[in-house]
Amino acid sequence: MTLEQVEEIKRKFDLANITTAHLTGGEILWHRQIEQIIRLFGEAGYRIEIDTNGVLIDQEMAKLLSRFGVDVLVGIETLDPILYHWYRGTDSVDKVLKGLDLMLQQNMRPGIQIIAADFRGYEEEKYDPVGNIFQLIKYFSTKEIPIYLLQYRPLGRATLSRDIVTDLTKEQKTQLKRLINSLPSHQRKLVSGDLPYASSGKADFYGCIGGILLGNMNIEGDIFICNWLRDRKFGNIFQEDLQRIIARMKQFRLDGLEELNCRLQNCGFRESGVCFGPCLVSDTYKEMTNYKGK
């Protein structure tokens, strides 16, 4: 997407009273004009959110993100450099951790998204799925970095529709819950739900707000209520008025798409604010929620 296209999108955001720009990719920080894009929204007073793998956050980028108060969510699968290389194909885990430290030095409060990656194919005797997740939780909670469990994202060697939580045995899930609950209370409070805007005030359920408070747009400008539900397009921002598209999405939700407003009522991990999901392509999500198979 070109800077000119982003400028047109921003003009339509202004007319529709949009207040938040959530920038993602691919890897959004690879965009050649990412600095101009951040300034474009930041200088207009938008709240800016970025999903990133964190590899490209150097000192100058950290200063820019801090200047405009960007909310940064860094996705990571493991701290093990060998496993990270096997999964991502790069030796960048140290760069990710350095980037996080640089943001902390700028008094930022980045979040960590522990991606429930599927490591099947890696040498089993060298990989403990529960230990891997808990190592991530322990490391980042001691740095007072909020952690979000767990949004599946099909990257690298991941399969299309499964995550590691799906493959945990009942005993492993129990072990992981005990490990999380063994954290000191101030650290345990950092372990939240799947969404970066989840908070203790939403503890009774994390309902889907797709099409009501947020929408998703691809590089062509097509708009959907959710990144996982791309079988229905509600319009294109370059072809029609954004306010009409928003009204269309809201009406669609109001007409009874109740299966998206999932309360996770049967999920055993809802205790203590711990949430494994939701992910609309995950078998775990289907088993633990009121999902109706639609």
- Domains (range + CATH), the chain: 3-201+272-278 (3.20.20.70), 216-254 (no CATH)
| Range list of β-strands (E), the chain | 20-23, 47-52, 71-76, 111-114, 147-149, 191-192, 216-217, 222-224, 235-236
- For residue range 13-55, list pLDDT tens digits in order: 999 999 889 998 878 999 999 999 999 999 999 999 998 999 9
Which residues does the chain have with pLDDT short of 70?
116-118, 120, 124-125, 149-168, 186-210, 227-229, 256-294
- Three-class DSSP category at 18: coil
Instruction: Count Cα atoms within 13 angstroms, Cβ side, for 172.
Output: 13
pLDDT at 238: 96
- Tell the residue number behind the tokens 């990989």, with chain if given: 127
Q: How many other CB atoms sit within 10 Å of the CB of residue 207?
A: 13
Q: List, in sequence order, every residue forming a beta bridge with 224; answer none if it has no partner.
A: 216
pTM comes to: 0.77
pLDDT at 278: 40
pLDDT at 59: 97
pLDDT at 141: 84
pLDDT at 277: 41
pLDDT at 123: 74
**Backbone φ, ψ for residue 185 (5° rounding):** -55, -40
Interatomic CA distance for residues 243 and 234, integer angstroms: 11
Q: What is the DSSP string of 205-262?
A: -----BTTTB-EE-TT-EEES-TT-TTS--EETTTS-HHHHHHHHHHHHHTT-GGGS-
The CA-based dihedral angle spanning residues 217, 10, 111, 250, taken in that order and rounded to the nearest 10 degrees: -50
| Range list of β-strands (E), 139-221 | 147-149, 191-192, 216-217
Angle at 205 between CA 199 and CA 211, to 5 degrees: 90
pLDDT at 214: 76
